[in-house]
Structure 1
């Protein structure tokens, strides 16, 4: 009787075995987002040109060299400022979605050292004109300069 139960158990275990030998490889979503994207904003006398140079670091990991060239006009005087945000830990979370959440040392042409947390979820899509773009609301927070947190909605067009 014990042998019969053991044989049945072996047959049952063999029948329940998964036929797949190799698990499905993880899809790399990062490669579809790679490229150069740009946009220009005007807000309260400040004109800013935003440029993202997006490259892939590894599977589902992006690196964004974010450059923001701004021009402030005060009493007829134009003051240019360039800020560079090296975002190196951006995660592609789906085919057309990625997440930014990191603290970066910002390089800027005027002012002192700046350390800021940058966060947001970007969505890549193709606009009505057939041009790929990225829509994102970026939150700038935990600034070492003491500036209040703020959010900015941007629509980057692929160049």
Structure 2
């Protein structure tokens, strides 16, 4: 009889056990990266202001409106070039990192249509002055204009 009661208790305890474990919700890393970031570069007679307006609408996915305003100096004249790169599928892969890998139709104020693949892995850090910034080596490739592939290291500071 004791064995029967013990068996019933074991079966009853097993039946009452809560097998439903709620899965932990996926963390949204994208929201920590939202904001406006800017940087300036000077290379071979070209001064460029880079601006990223980072937003998010979907968990762990960023939208980046990347605007690059450049002043190109050649002997006797200076040209202003504005390019906009709409990045719509940037993946936030961890708390302070994200990955860009998409083909973009670039809007620009000079020349014809331009189609570029942008890729790179960015990381958000806090610099020595206490200002959040994004560091990334951005690769520009597969240009529809036939230009050479370019890599550029950028440090965007949050505004």
Q: Scaled by the length of structure 2, what TM-score is found?
A: 0.89
Indicate yes or no: 2:121 matched with 1:121: yes
Alpha-carbon distance in structure 2 between the residues aligned to 1:113 and 1:44 = 24
Q: CA deviation digits over 1:125-145, x for unaligned, max 9?
A: 100000000000000001100
RMSD, aligned CA:
2.0
Indicate yes or no: 2:124 matched with 1:152: no
Question: Which residue does 1:136 correspond to in 2?
Answer: 136
Q: Where in structure 1 are there 5+ consecutive unaligned residues?
A: 1-6
Alpha-carbon distance in structure 1 between the residues aligned to 2:150 and 2:79 = 22
Indicate yes or no: 2:45 matched with 1:45: yes
The size of the alignment, in residue pairs, is: 151
Matches within 5 A, 1:3-152: 14=14, 21-152=21-152
- Residue 76 of structure 1: CA displacement? 2.6
- Residue 21 of structure 1: CA displacement? 1.9
Secondary structure of 2:24 counterpart = coil
Question: Which residue does 1:4 correspond to in 2?
Answer: none
Secondary structure of 2:23 counterpart = coil
- Residue 19 of structure 1: CA displacement? 5.0
Question: Which residue does 2:4 correspond to in 1?
Answer: none
Secondary structure of 1:129 counterpart = coil
Alpha-carbon distance in structure 2 between the residues aligned to 1:48 and 1:130 = 24
> Runs (4+) of structure 1 moved beyond 3 Å?
17-20
Secondary structure of 1:47 counterpart = strand
Alpha-carbon distance in structure 2 between the residues aligned to 1:18 and 1:95 = 32
Q: Scaled by the length of structure 1, what TM-score is found?
A: 0.89
